Amino acid sequence: MTQRIRPLRLALACALAAGLAACGPEPEHDATGEADAHAEQQSSSAGLPEGRIAAGEQLATSKGAATGQSCIDCHGVDGNAPIDPSYPKLGGQYADYLAHALQGYRNGDRENALMSSQARALSDQQIADLAAYFGSRPTELDNLAGVHDAD
């Protein structure tokens, strides 16, 4: 009886894998119908392109047109040294959370005089890049028990 169940489990696993693959995004195609190898990879959240850490680092140090300040001017080089205690630490945050917050500022779903104007001009790629960069930085966040996460 055990031998009859194994093929059934394998068939179910294969069907589930095929079903999940079918739910993924369709590859973009060029004029010849070939899948575009350069189509943007989608991240796991909010349909943003895959974030690039190096590009995010460059953006984090670039002065924004809206305020003349860069991300690191207010949040610190690794996102862990905000100039004001009310500003969040970004280093080590989940990239998906950071991307969601930046999208909210850009779209007007979140309001902050400085961040809303800074984020308004960001593209989806720039948001993904900034989120990837700050998400890759070491954390200085404390968990709810007050224990440092990096310990």
Considering only the top CATH level, what class is 53-136? mainly alpha
Q: What is the pTM of this model?
A: 0.66
Tens of pLDDT, residues 33-91: 444 444 444 555 568 999 999 999 999 999 987 788 999 999 998 999 999 999 999 99
What is the pLDDT at residue 62?
Answer: 92
Partner residues linked to 35 by β-bridges: 29
Query: In sequence order, which ranges of the chain are alpha helices (DSSP H)?
Result: 2-23, 53-61, 71-75, 95-107, 113-119, 124-136
What is the pLDDT at residue 81?
Answer: 94
What is the pLDDT at residue 45?
Answer: 59
Handedness of CA 65, 69, 71, 72 (dihedral sign): positive
Contact 68, 117 (CB under 8 A): no
% the chain with pLDDT above 90: 54
